[in-house]
Structure 1
Amino acid sequence: MLISFISLLATVALYIVMKKVYKKHPRFYTSPLLVTPLFLVAGLLLMETSYEDYNKGGQLLTNMLQPATIAFAIPLYKYYPVLKKYAVEILFNVALGSILAILSTIVIAKLLNLGTDLIESMMPRSVTTPIAMDVSKMIGGIPAITAVFVILTAIFGSVIGPLVIRYFRIDNEIARGVLLGTSAHGAGTSKAFELSSVSGTISSISMILAAIITLCAAPFLVTMISW
C-alpha cells in the first residue's frame, strides 16, 4: 500500500516538474510525456517494484481520464458553429487518416515479417488508450502491447506534428487540429491547445471520431493480415 501511494505521488510530482521545465525549455526531449515514463521505469527497475504494485496507485490517474475526457464538451459547445461549418471536411479527413493509419501499420508490419498477434496489437495504435485496448482485444491482439504502441504513437506524433505544421506552413487552425487529433490522440490534442483553442477543439473532436472509425473499421481491415 505504501509503495502504491509513493508511486502515485512520484508520478504526479514528476509530471508537474517536467511540465514546468517544458514551459521554460519547449523541446521534445523535455516533454513530460517522454521524460516522465522514462524516469518512472528507471525508478521501478531500481527499486525492483513490479508494474502491478505501481499500478495500484497509478490506476487512480487512469480512472481520472474519464471525467477529463468529458471536459472536452466545453470547448466543443463553445465552437459548435465552427464544427458545424466544417463537419464534412473534418469527418472525411479523420476517416481517411484513421484508415490509412491502420493500413500503413499492416503494410509496414508485414514487410518486417512481424507476427500476427503483434500486428493485431499495433493496428489501433492511433486512438486513445482505453478504446485502443478494447479494439485490440476484439480483433485478437494483446492489449498490454497495444498500450505501449499507443503511448509511443502519442509521443512521436506530438513531437513530429508541430514540425510538419511548421515545415509545410500549415496555418489553418482546422487543419492543425485534425492533423494532431487524428495522429496523436490525447497528446496531440494537448499540443493543439497550445497552438490555439480552436485547433484544440477540432483536435478533440478528431480524436473522438478517429476512435469511433477505428472501432468500426479495424474488424474488417484485420482480414488483410492473412493476404
Structure 2
Amino acid sequence: MVLPEEFVEVRVRARPMAPDDRRDAIIEAVIPLLLEHGRDVSTKRIAQAAGIAEGTVFRAFGDKESLIRAAVARHFDPLPLRTRLSGIDHDLPLEQKIAEIITALRDRLSGVIRLMAALGGDAPGAPDPRADERGPDADWIDILDELVERDRERLAVGIPELAFYLRLVAFGAAVPQFNAPHEFGPAELAAFVIGGVLHHSPAGDPRTHG
C-alpha cells in the first residue's frame, strides 16, 4: 500500500559542515568551558558541548593544546571590540560616548582577565602587546579619534592620552576586587574621566578672576 505523501517520513541527511565551520563551532563551544574549568576541561566534555564525537576534536585540531591556542586567539580577537565601538552614535553627547566606550572596554578586559585567570595566567595564542607601541587592541584608538572628533577642542589631552586613561579606568572596573565595596557604573567613571581631560581652571587660579 502506498501512503499519502503527508504520512511519509522524509529523512534528510544533514549536510556535513565545512572544516572551517566545524573548527569555529568547536572553538565557540570550548571558550565557556575554559572559563569555567581552565585547562582541566576534558576533550570528552568539549565534544559533548559541541555536539560532536571526541575524535572530531582531534581531527580538527590535533591535540587539546592546539585547540586552547585557537580558542585564546579567538577570545583576544579585537574585531568584536572594534565593531562595538564603531556602532556608537557620533551624535551622542561626549559624556555618553565616553560612558559607552568605557563599558565596551570594561567588558572586553573583563573577558580577557577571566580567561587569563582560568588558564593560570598563561594564555597561549594571545597577541603580543608589544606588537604596537600604543598597546593591545591599538586599532580602537583610531575609532576613538573619530568618535570624539567634534569634541576635540574641549579636550586638554591628546587622543592617545585619552585612550590610556579610558583603558586604565576600564581595567580597574573589570577587576572585581577594585570595585568593592562600591561598584562603579559607566556614567560615574565617564564623569571621573571627563573631569580630568577637559579644559578647566582650578579653584583659586588667578586666571579665573578679573
TM over 0.5: no
Bigger radius of gyration, 1 or 2? 2
User: TM-score range with shorter-chain normalisation?
Assistant: under 0.3
Greater share of helix residues, 1 or 2? 1
Higher relative contact order (CA 8 A, sep 6+): 2
